[in-house]
Amino acid sequence: MNTRAAVVQGVGGCVPPRSVDNNELSSRLDTTDEWIRERLGIARRHVADGISTVDLAVEAGARALEMAGGGFGALDVVLLATTTPDRLCPASAPEVASRLGYTGIAAFDVNAVCAGFVHALATGNALIRGHMADRVLVIGADVFTTLVDPGDRLTASIFGDGAGALVLRAGSPDEPGAVRAFDLGSDGSAVAAVEVPGGGARDRLGMPLANQRPYLVMDGPVVFQRAVREMTASSKRVLDKAGWDVGSVRRFVPHQANIRIIHGVAGKLGIDAERVVANIEDVGNTVAASIPLALADAHDTGLLAAGDRVLMTSIGAGLAWGSAVLTWPELHGKARL
């Protein structure tokens, strides 16, 4: 039996300084503050004017590493979950690692869109449990507003930019902070439900660059139905793997897709509102940053305490979904400044 586990030792998060509230959107789109709040649960989102995915990832990663403390030691791996790398090629993780002061270590991107952070966390967990790494930095960061049609009232209202990070170290399964179990899945037959059609090799092979389709397209009803269904089912499976009853979960941290999806999944799981961690009102849907940024905010506001059982679940384009459970460690310091 493997007695080695990945243990959380630090959390960090950041958002760009520019905040766009619903009234600013309403002034240029056919929408209102009331419509956005009621349907999406969002009051404002942050937009990365002149700030890149790497910039945000470095800031969130640095805060998580600072919380981990000077005795943490050298990193072995940097994992960056993102759909908006600074460049199509190369991956952004090596630059993040370099700017954090780590060269010569493994660093690579993971793309599962809104489920990306859980997939990256599972990868870091596997590297530690498999004795390929002792210390891993897992970051979720996106400037997804760059992929959103500024004239589309729905997607322009939903998405914001940000980054969040967790530091993992090798430890034992019975200590606070230990990651207990994962459930990952996908359904590629639903690829058209939410996608950015242009910019990839398929378009480049047969379409002039000027005619490529650069913005997100989304089938809202399909995404809503599949999100509630898959996140609920995945959450149940990961709880079964961990041997946890849903009643023992202290904090439920879902992907911040929209408030109706969050409430829909929580309701089907039988999790009351007091146990749900939601920061969507202030940051919107930040894609791969969604869950780690919610963890950072929950830490800073005192919603997370050492020993709390935490359930995380997510779904993104692909479709790809993923859930994880862990016990929260005792952490000191602020995750966001």
Catalytic residue among 22, 125, 258, 285: 285
Query: CA distances (Å), 274 to each of 83, 197, 253, 278, in order?
Result: 31, 39, 12, 10
Q: Tell me which amino acid residue 296 is.
A: A
Report the b/e string of 112-122 with b at 16+ CB within 10 A: bbbbbbbbbbb
List the catalytic residue out of 14, 114, 119, 279: 114
Residue of 237, 257, 256 lying closest to 180 (CA atoms): 237
Q: State the number of CA atoms in the 13 A half-sphere of 95 facing the CB.
A: 13
The pair of three-digit structure tokens given for residue 304, joined into one six-digit string = 């997370």
Backbone angles phi, psi at 256, to 5 degrees: -85, 70
Give kind and range of the element (H or E) at residue 41.
none
Please confirm, yes or no, whether 299 is among the known catalytic residues.
no
320 CB contacts (<8 Å, ≥6 apart)? 112, 113, 115, 119, 184, 185, 186
Q: Which of 46, 111, 125, 255 is catalytic?
A: 255
Any catalytic annotation for residue 258? no
Residue 20 CB-density burial (10 A; 0-12 exposed, 13-18 middle, 19+ buried) = middle
Say how far residue 285 (Cα) sits from the centre of its chain.
9
Question: Do 299 and 11 form a contact (C-beta atoms < 8 A)?
Answer: yes
Give me the active site residues, please. Answer: 114, 255, 285
